[in-house]
Structure 1
Amino acid sequence: MFFSPNYDLPIYVKKFIKYLKRVNYSEQTIIGYSKDLKIFNEFIYREYQGKIMLEQVTRNDILDYMVFLQDKRAYKPNSVYRHLSTLKSFYRFLVDELNIKENVAAKIRHQKVYTPLPPILDIQEMERLLLTAREYSLYFFTLFSFLYYTGSRITPVISLEKKNVNLKDNKIYFPRIKGGEDLYLPIHNKLKPIMETFLNNHPAPAYPFVFHSPRNPGEYIDHTTVRLHLKRVKNLAGIEKRVTPHIIRHCTATHLTLAKVDQKFISNILGQKDPRSTARYQQLNVDNLRDSLNLLP
């Protein structure tokens, strides 16, 4: 990041990122905040030729930044909203933790635009995806099955260590999920034999991660590689819908809902405290509602 004696914004950004790590924010969240603040830092530096201190940045500067994102970088409204959300979190930190006098982002409002969720796979399509993955690769069959049978986000899954998979007691421990919480989940009956086969024949037995990097077994696999192979498998399965690890999480929530699982249990499985967040993951169509509506006398 840019820095000069008359420009101290990068110092505060570094302090913010260290704070996020200290309070156990997820790696993906930290990466997202870092990227957003890098763009903000570059914008402010250019606007003032590197001659402005953090406490001199005003509400109007942030409003100009939002216009810049929309007009110059052609960001969609939801992306602009996300950048504003990052700045709100950043300035809350500055005020609460570093005693900066004014939160110049606090009262800025930006209308979040509703974006329809992508269609999910139905149960038969999910079965086809996993059957194809089994023929494609034991590694990715295990990984995609794990995503579906736990409903987990991708980051806790790919960073999972072997020591946190207890096949004897049928438990999985995620030491850190989104929001800094930890989570215990039971191992699904269909997932257990898959995990046993994979771990008993693990291609990198001396290393800690369940889903190690194919290139460097001392590290875990990266998000991009997972998405690349997931796309290949869904194409081989003849599935035209877009499929990502997060869409698989939506599939888990919706399929559990169709199975009449209590909403509280689904929230716990997904690691969510707010039931409104859980509802966002459940994508029910007209046919899903038919039987329930027909219960009317």
Structure 2
Amino acid sequence: MADSLPVSLAAPLTDFIQHLASETRHSQRTCDSYRRDLDRLAGWLHQRQFDQWHRLNAHDVRRYAADLARQGLSGRSIARHLSSIRRFYRFLVREKLATDNPALDIRAPKSGRRLPKVADVDQVNHLLDANPDDPLEVRDLCMFELIYSSGLRLSELAGLNVDSVDLRGGQLRVLGKGGKERDLPVGRKAVAAIQAWLPVRAGLTGDAEPALFVSQRGDRLSHRSIQSRLSRWGVVKGADQRLHPHMLRHSFASHMLESSGDLRAVQELLGHADIATTQVYTHLDFQHLARVYDQSHPRARRRRQDQHSGPGCEDRK
């Protein structure tokens, strides 16, 4: 797309992506995401004969968001586009290529909350207790045990190296969103699965390959391959719904919360920066949050005890 744009649109966009990569050290995936969003906006501007970024105003941004909605994008996707535009214009204002940020007060339309399906505990146990039939299924079982054991994202699983895992300590270190590392516990079933996989892995690749999960060719397994193998596992082992990595991660979060009621711990395990993300992710409603608050907060406990003591209690002053 950038090749067909006038230099006045393409050059600032290229400079912005370089700024993200070099100055703010965003990952290549994040830079590519910004590039796709802003290429789409640049193409929209070019079709309307805009040749300078500073010509875009708030009315134009609203029209653009409306066009995205007409093209079928969800409210969440439109919100991501608007976030990319706001970030880009902060850069343009800093570089004196624009005088204001036209997307600053524009909000995306709300869309219904979409949550992945959750497998119940019995379903997960049935799938993970199935015996592998060949060496690659030994690997597959190990991957799926790890996702469910530690609540890993697909990217975190694919990025694991052999030295990421401490089998004796029962933990692993993952690289999460924003390049943040976190240490996670690994359950005994997952530890056993890794111990079964490592000898098989040694027959597929040499010491030069750091990846924990490798293909038949001996190189790091891709995201797409992991998704495909999990889907295949579900079909072969008799799952009653389509399996994907996010569903296992979501099941981990839901089952952990149901058992512990500890929202903050689940937030840490999932690597969420904002606890509100965990609230949505685990189907929590306000009433559940209120119960957790009442049971946990010392001032909330004091208030409840006061109420039980009756209106004549001397503590009420």
- Conservation of the 8 A alpha-carbon contact between 2:65 and 2:78: yes
- Conservation of the 8 A alpha-carbon contact between 1:213 and 1:221: yes
- Conservation of the 8 A alpha-carbon contact between 1:120 and 1:251: yes
Aligned-partner SS, 2:132: helix
In the TM superposition, what is the alpha-carbon distance from 1:278 to its structure 2 partner?
1.4
What residue number does 2:181 align with?
A: 182
> Is 1:191 aligned with 2:190?
yes
> Is 1:46 aligned with 2:47?
yes
1:20-99 correspondence runs (5 A): 20-22=20-22, 23-26=24-27, 28-48=29-49, 52-71=51-70, 73-95=71-93
Percent sequence identity over matched residues? Answer: 26
What residue number does 2:298 align with?
A: none
Aligned-partner SS, 2:119: coil
Q: Deviations over 1:125-148 (max 9, x none)?
A: 111222347347112111111111
| RMSD (Å), alpha carbons | 2.9
- Conservation of the 8 A alpha-carbon contact between 1:78 and 1:113: yes
List runs of 5+ in structure 1 lacking aligned partners: 293-297
Q: Whose radius of gyration is greater, 1 or 2?
A: 2
1:14 is matched by which residue type in structure 2? T
How far apart in 1 are the matches of 2:45 and 2:52?
A: 10
- Structure-2-length-normalised TM-score: 0.77
1:266 is matched by which residue type in structure 2? V
Q: Deviations over 1:209-238 (max 9, x none)?
A: 112355571xx3222222222222222333
In the TM superposition, what is the alpha-carbon distance from 1:40 to its structure 2 partner?
1.9
Q: Deviations over 1:14-59 (max 9, x none)?
A: 33333444445455444433322222222222221xx612222322
Count of matched residue pairs: 281
1:1-297 correspondence runs (5 A): 1-3=1-3, 6-22=6-22, 23-26=24-27, 28-48=29-49, 52-71=51-70, 73-95=71-93, 100-132=98-130, 134-135=132-133, 137-174=137-174, 176-202=175-201, 203-206=204-207, 207-214=209-216, 217=219, 220-260=220-260, 262-283=262-283
How far apart in 1 are the matches of 2:95 and 2:133?
A: 52
What residue number does 1:295 align with?
A: none
1:159 is matched by which residue type in structure 2? G
Cα pair distance change 1:112/1:133, threshold 3 Å: farther
How far apart in 2 are the matches of 1:246 and 1:94?
A: 36
Aligned-partner SS, 1:255: helix
Cα pair distance change 1:58/1:164, threshold 3 Å: same
How far apart in 2 are the matches of 1:153 and 1:119?
A: 16
